[in-house]
Structure 1
């Protein structure tokens, strides 16, 4: 029976090649998008699901609330670690570790030192009880129970000791930053499954007290929180969650700062489930990559996939119900020979399944191409090989079956409902309900297409606005170099600055902290008392020498430059000046912020500039010198202005800069970054969205237009004789074209009327996330409506004009 169904289905597909091709292409586009998007969702939702009792594991993070809003920190204050281990009930265990960034690791057997080893942590002894590593060598019970011990993953062991067996590596010595000596006591396998725990070197926590992290690891201040301090807990059971949350809340309240409470600032500890770790945009992860999973984007992608699949199904339904009268005699004969309605429905479902199966095969090829197109925006682990995973294969099969049922069931019911007597007497007419359904589906298709078009134009315009808007400081021809941050020697940095100052291709050189706009933030809480009230706020600090503001083109509105690098003085930005209530910048100069030892005079007011992406508003900021130089220097970055007029000399300037770098830091890697490229990274997510929308728009318009073309072809072929009669009676090609197109044009215009407010509402809400944004101008909607109308008219006219231009004698000679 099934063999006959497939044989008949194949014959019908071959008989209607054009309509079958339209259906196959439409479904293939939808399926390929669904496969790729499904792969993305599957990839991100399967991180760290393999750990034992993963549903009981939580990371404790910190949330700060104030009248200005909430701030999030993935770390905790160090005293909480001992408090949780000793006094919090309802836990099986807890573990803490500190993320580290040593500048160098070496061994007497190395031919050279390895610079900047990534994914290094200092962990307590419970770390390996918490996560189930496979041990290749060493004793897990005592591996990091003592100081000066380190565990390597197999990847890092092979890198450091490529010609040694794992057992022979045990006992080798690794020295970090020329000061921390460790003995290798174990080798573990890297996790085979997807995980955010990508650490390669796990050093015992006691060892960390000998490193640059010693002050952090022994910090007993409850009001000090660092993102490097990570704390994880495992509950006894799910019922323990409310109890543990209550205990953490009590601990936070018990150790709150009285000064903070005075100003309405509070701290709470949040328990982040392990399954949310990969999506914790507010807290981040510690895998040291730029890729960040985003739940809202994944949900948006799923909607795009659903719409594209739906558009393909609509084409199938429309074309097959439109063709119903052509297959009426076949249905009548089958019913007369004894076929039941159930058998006929199954016959059409098998036809649909065969078309969907062919589309599925084609979609796999398209999916491979799409993955290459989006390679810049997806993580390395997301590759075509994931299609061989059993879950993905099952998902693809289920999707093909669902699409077959969705696309074929209604046309099957329509076709199988014809009465044999009416069919054989040529009395089969399309009912108004079927015609209305087709019109409704066409409108729906073009609503989706126009929403995508409007969104693509508006989002592209916003991204262009973000990239071109003046940040408030100079960004062209400026690069910066971060010095090894574990080397606290200011002397070396000043030597490097002097060497760079002699390079003729460099116009200006400055030593300071981070660039004016960066991901790094230094801030402090300050209080200004004007005699009547206290104004407390967080003040961001920008560190730089006397050349810094000039290099970046940041002008002073009032006051003077800093006297030198170490005197405690503020040059505040205009936003902070307004917050303090001064009418003009000049009024702020000479005022004192803070009291007692914390009193700092305002000596100048500088122009506002954006410290981060234009999603954020400008925050209160002060430009300062290197106040803490005796303990550690904040001047860790060299800022260089290249000769803007001669960009062809830039490679030479960078080469000479590298030579100077190597003369001062011969063991460290040289890396130069352009400030404009740094700013571009702020909008990586938006650029990804633009690319996705562009493709979604192309696909939706293509599918919709293919469906429209199919219906136009069907309609014009049915009205050939009518066209012939009208031509004989004097109708022109323009009149005939308008006659054949007007019904479809009305549907396209109706779709635009519905799509415009839907798109406006979605885009308006999306733009609210940006402190700086463009307007939703009327022309965006007008261009979209006009463009899709013209495109639809062109597609329709191709067929209608070719039909209308034929000799009417040929179409009427059978009468």
Structure 2
């Protein structure tokens, strides 16, 4: 039976190739727009989920209000990591990272600049599961004179030669550093965008006991099932024990008196929230942050684009209903029931949607480089083609087929045999108002998106030319 439905559907689509092409192109553009935006949203939501146990890693941040000014910093004091691990049983491990400003590496009489380098604790790769090509995560940074490079960085210095054991000269460090490990290149969807990792022992301030000077991104690996809010509630009294004397020495008043007019404290931020939910001072963030509001806005736009395409499909199908009236009448006279007719028309919708989806895939492949330049991304369409996403895409095609084809199928299958054979119809006001409403919805959304684009464009022009 299914084979028969498919065969008849294909023949019917071939009878009116211009309508099939028009429907397919309109739907393809809508699907391509929706999928492109979905790739962007998917990428934004995937940040920092690359690491094993990512859901159990939290960053320690500093928030407060000092002298009426908001204080939000993603960096904290040097002893915070060690003290957290010692005092809280929920903390399995704690590690730090500190960026290197204007780093330079000298190798073979050549100076390399514009590097992305960071000082990290020896246990850094035990908390963050970067993929090792050569070397061992537990011992890579054990020696203060070691260095870990990504594969692209190692190739920059040593070409195709084995980098392990090679020595490079790093600015501000007296002894040469020996390459002990090579990582796969840092994924783009992480806030830890570094290619050179140097042991923290080489940074003098890393051993400081000061709780009033920050400069270290601090991460806690928590035991599974740890209640973050419960742990965070214990932090104020714990922090007071270590910071009170230093506040007294620094500003001459007690910590209790300082807190009366000011608010200052440490808080825990889930690793997977860093990219989309951060509002910290840019100079304390390791990489530019995104914004969850944009994810919501773009998701809504993707949905509207898809709805516009589906409504267009519905309107074209119902507007040309008279061409199918005699077919419907003959089928009903010969014994076809409404269920069979609905199935037939939905099968045609499925074929059109499938063709439009393949067409949309071609549009995406063509436009993705331009879209990446516009969005500042490194999206690759085929990197998303795994078993779960293919199954999701199939469900997506079926859902669009039902969404776009259900209304025309029920309208066409509801024709009365005698009236259908005479090509006479008594369209109800309800059906006409529904079609009119869909057309109005199309124009409202289209006009809204165009106006919003113009507003953003004018605003960017203003920003770029304003003194």
TM-score, normalised on structure 1? 0.52
Q: Distance in 1 between matches of 2:72 and 2:194?
A: 23
Q: Deviations over 1:19-61 (max 9, x none)?
A: 3333222211110101211111222222332422211111111
On the 8 A contact 2:185/2:195 being kept in 1, the answer is no
Task: Say whether residues 1:186 and 2:180 are aligned partners.
Answer: yes
**Partner residue in 1 for 2:374:** 377
Distance 1:285 1:139, change over 3 A: farther
| Secondary structure of residue in 1 paired with 2:265 | strand
Conservation of the 8 A alpha-carbon contact between 1:136 and 1:186? no
Q: Which runs of 5+ in 2 are unaligned?
A: 248-253
* 1:77-116 alpha-carbon deviations (Å, 9 max, x no partner): 2232232122123111111122213532224xx1422234
**CA-CA distance at 1:427 after TM superposition:** 4.7
Q: Which residue does the alignment assign to 2:6? A: 6
1:585 corresponds to: none
In the TM superposition, 1:670-749 aligns within 5 A as none
Change in CA separation of 1:358 and 1:394 when aligned onto 2, cut-off 3 Å: same
Trace 1:511-522 onto structure 2 (pairs within 5 A).
none
**Is 1:222 matched up with 2:182?**
no
Whole-angstrom CA distance in 1 between matches of 2:285 and 2:394: 34
**Cα contact 1:91–1:235 (8 A) shared by 2:** yes
Distance 1:391 1:338, change over 3 A: same
The correspondence for 2:266, drawn from 269, 279, 286, is: 269
Tell me how far apart the structure 1 counterparts of residues 357 and 54 of structure 2 sit (CA, whole Å).
35
Query: Cα 1:464–1:347, aligned 2, differ >3 Å: closer, same or farther?
Result: same
1:248 corresponds to which residue?
A: 235
C-alpha contact (below 8 Å) 2:277/2:292 kept by paired residues: no
SS in 2 for 1:376: helix
Give the corresponding residue for 1:341.
338
The DSSP-based 3-state class of the residue aligned with 1:268 is: strand
Check the 8 A contact 1:60/1:230 in 2, yes or no. yes
1:131 corresponds to: 128
- 1:30 to 2:30 alignment: yes
Structure 1: distance between partners of 2:6 and 2:138: 63
Give the counterpart of 2:171 among 165, 170, 177: 177
- Rg comparison, structure with higher value: 1
Residue deviations 1:367-415, cap 9 Å, x none?
2343233332334521344354444433332222111000111211122
Query: Are the counterparts in 1 of residues 32 and 360 from structure 2 also a CA contact under 8 Å?
Result: yes
Unaligned stretches of 5+ residues in structure 1:
209-213, 471-815
* Aligned equivalents of 2:181, 2:147: Cα separation in 1: 9
1:233 to 213, 220, 223: 220
2:431 is aligned with 1:434: yes
Are residues 253 and 374 of structure 1, via their aligned partners in 2, closer, same or farther at CA, if it must alter by over 3 Å?
Answer: same
- The alignment's C-alpha RMSD in Å is 2.8
RCO higher in structure (CA 8 A, sep ≥6): 2
Contact 1:173–1:184 at 8 Å: present in 2 too?
yes
Cα distance change, pair 182–81 in 1 and its aligned pair in 2 (3 A)? farther
Shift of 1:445: 0.9
Task: Report what 2:110 is aligned to.
Answer: 112
The answer as to 2:325 corresponding to 1:328 is yes
Partner of 1:350: 347
- Is this contact kept in 1: 2:132–2:184, CA < 8 A? no
Aligned CA distance change for structure 1 residues 320 and 298 (closer, same or farther; 3 Å): same
2:76 is the counterpart of 1:76: yes
TM-fit CA distance, 1:188: 3.0
Deviations 1:599-631 (A, max 9, x none): xxxxxxxxxxxxxxxxxxxxxxxxxxxxxxxxx
Whether 1:466 aligns to 2:463 is yes
Distance 1:238 1:412 in 2: 50
Distance 1:456 1:446, change over 3 A: same
Q: How many residues align?
A: 455
Once the 2 structures are TM-superposed, how far is the Cα of residue 197 of structure 1 from its aligned partner?
3.0
SS in 2 for 1:374: helix
